Structure 1
Amino acid sequence: MRQKALLALLLVGACAKPREERAHPPNVSASPSKSAALNAPERPQPPGAVVVRTDVGTFEAPSVRLMVTFTEGEAPPALEVALSAQAEGGRQWAVLASVEPAFPKTKHATARLTRMPLQVGLASAELRGPSGPPTLASDGTLELNVTGREVHGTVRTKDADLSATFEGPLSVECMVPAAWLQGPDTHASPGAPVPVAPSSARGSTVVPDEAGTTARCRALKEQFR
């Protein structure tokens, strides 16, 4: 019952209007199911668009999510690739990776699987059943390749139940400081500098730039056409 309630909550969240969020800390939980990235609302996609194939069956998800978070100043953005796929009977397979800022250009990333808090170059993979504790990969690798808006991924680990291949559409989500959406140059060309939010009570508060209002988000999405 608890698992069904969680799945119902995720489905409701997927249809809700994205809410204001805070930027992710440098180190995030190694468990994908506990990640703020995977708990954030996902944009509607065709059901079963992503197919995950494992030794214990096939899982499906709307999309592989690339979540990019810009912060105030000129620091590079934080990039996370996340996938949470479901199967019959309440089973869930999930992977979460922190990738290099150059990923939108290279379209390729490799990461080492770990149970430790994630940093760039590390990833976690998890298999959950309808009951009992989850299985979390302790070692192995994740490889990602993107062509256009299509993602191909491979998880290799000693645990055969967690090893998988997956492919499907990529969704790009761009988060920026709230003040950037109120700046005078938000509709400038993609190469133009983006207004930097002044020091305020908002601190590191970030919000989704769904319309591509800021130059950095427009430039980011142009790389995945």
Structure 2
Amino acid sequence: MRVLLVEDEPRMAAALRAALTVKHDMVMDHVATLADAELVAGDIGYDAILLDRQLPDGDGLDLVPRLRNKGVTLPIIVITAKGTVPDRVTGLELGADDYLAKPFSLDELIARLRAVMRRPSALNPSRISVGKLSSDGAFRDIRIGGRPFELPRREILVLECLMRRVGRMVPRPVLMEAVFSLDDEIQSNALDSHISRLRRKLAAAQAGVVVNVVRGLGYMLREEL
């Protein structure tokens, strides 16, 4: 799951990044202004946006109708200190999917992310199945034949990206976008190394799938014949 955090308070941003990327295995990009958020939100394949209201260049809520008018339908959760009933009503009427007042617990934020990702408008299906593999499509529950299949975070992200496009070639840039955040320092062979290890583990676990290399272009997941 790749999340865009729009938050200008450095300590809040650092805490959310640490919690969501380390504890919940998400890829998170962080921007601090409306202008930067609007620039990247429509171009990168995010699964959700966490949006503060009090930003240096305006009210974060102004971003919601602008994105909706551009056809950006991904879930948006407003996270803000402005938590009165009129504030919440305004946010929801402008097109936000949820509204969470600060301070909030991380568990509540995760629960709300789960909830918006289960809605029909979310980009990912609730569960993806290929061969003996299944994934919840958003929150890192990978299974083979119903049994948990433990993988490092980046290998999970690679696998879920391939599973969403089973039978189709996934270009390298799409995989890179799914696995690495904008701030990651990436070595040239990093993606290939993750996929090589993943292929060995899938074969050893008899997952009923193979990852084919489309030389020079990308990778494709298919069910084993």
Q: Does TM, scored on the shorter chain, surpass 0.5?
A: no
Structure exhibiting the larger radius of gyration computed from Cα positions:
2
Alignment TM-score, normalising by the size of structure 2: 0.22
The structure carrying a bigger strand percent of its residues is 1
More helix by share: 2
